[in-house]
């Protein structure tokens, strides 16, 4: 990555959009839709880099309510329902309890408290710039990155989110990922490879890490020495990014937790695809096997329909 481009990216992250090249007066947009919410500079930045950061977008009271809900779930004060609570591999077989034991809750679209994040209007305003007005919440997570035990299991390998999704069109899917507290390289901020969203979906496998890897943490190979940008964020800051953007996160080297909440959104007019014979076949088999062990047999597409919920505009599945 050139020094000039890196400075441009860092200026954007600091809230300075001035001086970003926009190809003169000719604009050809593939990854964003005509919508007055995004400035021309923001659109061009997303087109070039595959992500944008919006400072202080989410109300802190909402984030505090979501944090308390997660803690209540960890201590089983409220029923889990359809949600999945996931344990970090380094502590799963120890006597750890509560917040220290669970590093993530996902599939919370039917939880009354956490669902408030998914339907938060300022987020949806930005989401519509990528998905259009008809929006479905497809994948939800509250990530509680724990202090690393020294085994490096708190890191997340570089990956592309589209690997997990059997629906298209790709360019009308976006993730909204919000910092619930200050996030820095020290506690494992997001790492992104700017411009990688212009590539293709790559083969994903479990990395060969000495101390193991958390469930579903598939990754791509060959990018460990690739230039990247670390996204330091303050509480309430939200990054929107493309599902083909290569990203991951580092180790949490602090004594505290690093919490973030995210939702992937898609146009509600998405089409489901058959992933057999593609690089996504391995994740489809893994999810189907997990569902079977839990006593609910469902295929990859049904699994995603089950864990999603309509959030805005016209719902084509309502009829």
Would you state the pLDDT for residue 171?
Answer: 98
Going by pLDDT thresholds of 50, 70 and 90, the confidence category of residue 213 is confident
> According to CATH, what is the number of the domain 3-20+36-312?
2.60.120.620
Report the pLDDT averaged over residues 247-265.
Answer: 96
**In which band, very low, low, confident or very high, does the pLDDT at 259 lie, cut at 50, 70 and 90?**
very high
CA separation for the pair 146, 91 (Å, rounded): 10
Q: Which of 101, 40, 109, 49 is nearest to 74 (CA)?
A: 101
What's the confidence (pLDDT) of residue 302?
A: 93
For residue 56, count CB atoms less than 10 angstroms from its CB and return exposed for 0-12, middle for 13-18, buried for 19 or more: middle
Looking at residue 165, what is its pLDDT? Answer: 98
Which has the higher per-residue pLDDT, 19 or 267? Answer: 267
Q: Rounded to whole angstroms, how far apart are CA atoms 49 and 51?
A: 6
pLDDT for 319 equals: 67
- Per-residue pLDDT tens over the stretch 214-226: 888 899 999 988 9
Residue 17 pLDDT exceeds 80: no
16 band by pLDDT with thresholds 50, 70 and 90: very low
pLDDT at position 27? 65
pLDDT at 192: 98
pLDDT score of 283: 96
Mind listing the pLDDT tens digit for each residue in 119-167? Answer: 999 999 999 999 999 999 999 999 999 898 888 888 899 999 999 999 9
Lowest mean pLDDT among 34-48, 76-90, 171-185, 263-277: 76-90
* Share of residues in the chain with pLDDT > 90 (%): 75
Average pLDDT for the chain: 91
Distance CA 38, CA 43 (A): 6
């Amino acid at each position: 990555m050139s020094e000039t481009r890196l400075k441009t990216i860092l200026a954007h992250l600091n809230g300075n959009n001035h001086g970003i090249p926009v190809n003169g007066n000719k604009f050809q947009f593939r990854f964003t839709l005509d919508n007055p919410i995004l400035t021309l500079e923001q659109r061009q930045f997303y087109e070039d880099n595959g992500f944008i950061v919006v400072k202080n977008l989410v109300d802190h009271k909402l984030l505090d309510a979501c944090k308390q809900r997660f803690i209540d779930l960890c201590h089983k004060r409220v029923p889990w329902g359809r949600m999945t609570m996931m344990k970090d591999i380094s502590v799963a077989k120890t006597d750890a309890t509560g917040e220290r034991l669970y590093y993530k809750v996902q599939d919370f679209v039917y939880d009354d408290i956490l669902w408030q994040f998914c339907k938060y209007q300022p987020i949806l305003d930005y989401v519509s710039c990528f998905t259009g007005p008809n929006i479905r919440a497809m994948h939800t997570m509250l990530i509680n990155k724990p202090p690393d035990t020294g085994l490096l299991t708190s890191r997340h390998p570089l990956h592309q989110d589209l690997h997990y999704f059997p629906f298209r069109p790709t360019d009308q899917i976006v993730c909204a990922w919000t910092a619930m507290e200050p996030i820095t390289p020290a506690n494992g901020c997001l790492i992104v490879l700017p411009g990688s969203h212009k590539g293709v979906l790559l083969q994903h496998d479990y990395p060969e890490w000495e101390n193991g890897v958390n469930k579903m943490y598939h990754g791509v190979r060959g990018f460990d020495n690739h230039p990247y940008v670390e996204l330091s964020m303050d509480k309430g800051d939200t990054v929107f990014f493309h599902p083909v953007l290569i990203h991951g996160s580092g180790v949490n080297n602090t004594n505290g937790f690093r919490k973030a909440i995210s939702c992937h959104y898609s146009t509600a007019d998405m089409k489901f695809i058959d992933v057999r014979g593609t690089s996504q076949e391995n994740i489809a088999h893994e999810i189907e096997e997990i569902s079977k062990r839990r006593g609910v047999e469902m295929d990859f597409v049904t699994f995603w329909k089950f864990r999603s919920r309509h959030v805005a505009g016209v719902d084509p599945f309502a009829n």
